[in-house]
Each structure stands twice: as structure tokens, then as C-alpha cells.
């Protein structure tokens, strides 16, 4: 059953696309990305993540909702699904967003901001998973990747809060941000309806103790735990 105030896409499109069609759609939807702050008061922040089974085409998608002030988990939902789009770099959103959208459909709290474990405009067509999700839901969204998809940068300083600019040719596509002293930086980019400075401010605020923001950490822990449990159940059922 859907949540009382569940968040649903305001834009609908087919997910049954081939690679060429997906690229065309990315280019069209990229024109809708808003790179300025359009946030109201942020009370609840969502984190999303997807984990894949190593033994089958099954995957698990999770959404967590955190209190923006305390960073405590308020609500979560997990969806089991099947991969219906091939593994193609630059097109991960077509593989991962369908189950993520299903997970959001059962969340009762509408988030004011979404942080994705992936790229936003730091993408060859300036439309990574965070931008795709943000545009579909018309919700402020941040891309926060553990690894770089493309671009060049100089290493930021070693202290928490140090950063450098991520460039693709002459385009500023993101920020390489050090969230803790002497740890690997993360890659922050605009998803939708947020500026890059504000995105970095929120990511740093969400990472008071660890390298990754709490939204990503908790979503990651949830999908891994759920996937392990799912595979254990399937293994036990085969005995």
C-alpha cells in the first residue's frame, strides 16, 4: 500500500529503451535541470542506494529518510527487483531508478532533499542518476559519488572541508570535497534545484564523523543487509 504522503514522479517516461533511446532521453531531460537553490526549509533528507546480487539478476533498492537536524533514521523502505537494463556506464539511472521509484512509492514522509550515491551533472551528458531522479520528482537533489565518472581536478587539501573544482574541459561539473581529515575525498555535483555551494554545505553537514554522508551510509548498510538476508532465504529454500 502506498504511503499517505508518498513522493511520486511528476514526469513519466518509458523505461523500456535501448541504449540509443536512453541517451536521447538523457539529453532532452538534461535541459530541465535547475542549477540554482530552490530549497524550502529542509526537515527531512532522503538517501538512496542499490545493491546487486552476485549470483543472479536480482537487486535491492533502499530509501532512507533522516531527520535533517539529528540525522536520525525516521523511515526506510526496501524493494527487491530484477535488473531490466544492461550495465552501461553513463546509463546507470535506467538500471537503478525503476526500483528506487518503487521504494519511494511506499515512503510516507516526503523528503525536502535527496542525496544520491552517484553523479548529478558530473556526467558526460550532464544528467547522471541524481539529476534524473531530481527532475522526475522535481525535488532538490545532490549527486555524491564515492568515485569519479569523468573530469580533472587537483587534489584538495587534507583537512575536512578542503575542496577543489572538478572540471570537464572548461566546465565546472562538481566539487572534490574532503569530508574528514586525511581521508579520500568524495565527488559532489548538482542533481536538481540546488547550487553547488549549497550541495557541498549539506554533504559536509551530513558527514560529521565519517567519509560518506549519513544518508549514503545508512542506505548502503540497509541494502547490503537486505541483500544478504534475501540470498540466505533463497539458499535455504533450495535445500
Reported as a pLDDT band with limits 50, 70 and 90, residue 105 is very high
The cell numbers describing 153, all together, are 581536478
- H-helix segments, the chain: 19-30, 92-104, 129-137, 196-205, 214-237
For 158-194, the pLDDT digits (tens) are: 999 999 999 999 999 999 999 999 999 999 999 999 9
For 142-159, the pLDDT digits (tens) are: 999 999 999 999 999 999
The cell numbers describing 40, all together, are 524550502
> Can you give the pTM of this predicted structure?
0.93
CA dihedral 113, 114, 118, 120 (to 10 degrees): -50
Place of cell 564523523: 209
How far is residue 63's CA from residue 170's CA, in Å, rounded to a whole number?
35
Domain ranges of the chain: 35-232
How far is residue 170's CA from residue 111's CA, in Å, rounded to a whole number?
34
- Radius of gyration (C-alpha) of the chain in whole angstroms: 17
In total, the chain counts a number of residues equal to: 239
Place of cell 579520500: 184
Closest CA to 140 of 91, 190, 183, 188: 190
Examine the pLDDT at 120 and tell me if it is beyond 80.
yes
Mean pLDDT of the chain: 93
How far is residue 160's CA from residue 6's CA, in Å, rounded to a whole number?
36
For 8-19, the pLDDT digits (tens) are: 899 999 999 999
Is 81 flagged in the annotation as binding? no
| Residue-level pLDDT at 83 | 86
**Topology annotation, domain 35-232:** archaeoglobus fulgidus dsm 4304 fold (3.30.2170)
Place of cell 535533517: 68
The cell numbers describing 184, all together, are 579520500
Is 37 flagged in the annotation as binding? no
Amino acid at each position: 500500500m502506498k504511503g499517505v504522503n508518498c513522493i511520486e514522479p511528476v514526469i513519466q517516461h518509458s523505461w523500456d529503451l535501448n541504449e540509443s533511446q536512453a541517451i536521447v532521453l538523457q539529453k532532452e531531460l538534461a535541459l530541465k535541470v535547475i542549477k540554482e537553490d530552490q530549497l524550502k526549509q529542509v526537515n527531512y533528507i532522503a538517501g538512496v542506494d542499490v545493491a546487486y546480487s552476485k549470483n543472479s539478476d536480482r537487486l535491492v533498492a533502499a530509501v532512507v529518510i533522516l531527520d535533517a537536524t539529528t540525522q536520525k533514521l525516521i523511515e526506510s523502505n526496501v524493494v527487491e527487483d530484477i535488473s531490466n537494463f544492461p550495465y552501461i556506464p553513463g546509463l546507470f539511472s535506467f538500471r537503478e531508478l525503476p526500483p528506487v521509484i518503487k521504494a519511494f512509492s511506499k515512503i510516507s514522509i516526503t523528503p525536502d532533499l535527496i542525496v544520491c550515491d552517484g553523479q548529478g551533472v558530473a556526467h558526460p551528458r550532464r544528467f547522471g542518476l541524481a539529476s534524473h531522479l531530481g527532475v522526475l520528482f522535481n525535488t532538490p537533489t545532490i549527486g555524491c559519488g564515492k568515485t569519479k565518472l569523468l573530469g580533472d581536478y587537483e587534489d584538495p587539501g587534507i583537512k575536512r572541508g578542503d575542496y577543489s573544482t572538478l572540471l570537464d574541459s572548461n566546465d565546472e561539473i562538481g566539487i572534490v570535497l574532503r569530508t574528514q581529515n586525511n581521508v579520500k575525498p568524495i565527488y559532489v555535483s548538482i542533481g536538481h534545484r540546488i547550487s553547488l555551494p549549497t550541495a557541498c554545505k549539506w554533504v559536509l553537514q551530513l558527514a560529521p564523523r565519517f567519509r560518506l554522508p549519513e544518508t549514503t551510509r545508512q542506505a548502503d548498510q540497509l541494502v547490503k543487509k537486505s541483500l544478504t538476508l534475501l540470498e540466505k532465504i533463497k539458499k535455504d529454500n533450495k535445500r
